[in-house]
Structure 1
Amino acid sequence: MTHKINVFDTGLRTGRENIAHDQAMIDAHVAGKIGDSFKFIHFKPCALVGRHQDLSQELKLDECERRGVQTVRRITGGGAI
């Protein structure tokens, strides 16, 4: 039996764009609009924190702003990256 998997490469995007695309893919999958998928992601400089993390505890927000590093909260848990 063959199982079809969609493959996406969205190119270089901001952290917010990538996270929004993740959410859109999840919503489409739950609604039955797309099947199982694999996505290559490429981020412009950003700092990501997990769903339950405190941005101000995990990141030096003033330094991120000074350097133009976008700060983004993932829709999933896990540590800062």
Structure 2
Amino acid sequence: MTTTVGGTGVVVFASENGIYAFRNPDYEFEQTESGAYEADGTTWDEATGESADGRSLGAVSAKRLFAFAWQDDHGHDAFYSP
């Protein structure tokens, strides 16, 4: 999934191993049938943000919280909706 958060382009990869977020330099990511992620002519590792051709995506700082804890702290209207 790609989106913009606070003016920064972000790509989020979800896999069996977890959820990972990276800065997106305007690439169009697609998930293949095998589960790999492709963009800009190469494949990308969802956990490290590194490409098969040696490039890297910058990690986005994030904290994992339960939805009810976030809502208690920030209010019912605080959830992101694309």
TM-score by length of 2: 0.28
Larger radius of gyration: 1
- Where relative contact order (Cα < 8 A, 6+ residues apart) is larger, the structure is 1
TM-score by length of 1: 0.28
Q: Which protein is richer in helix relative to its size?
A: 1
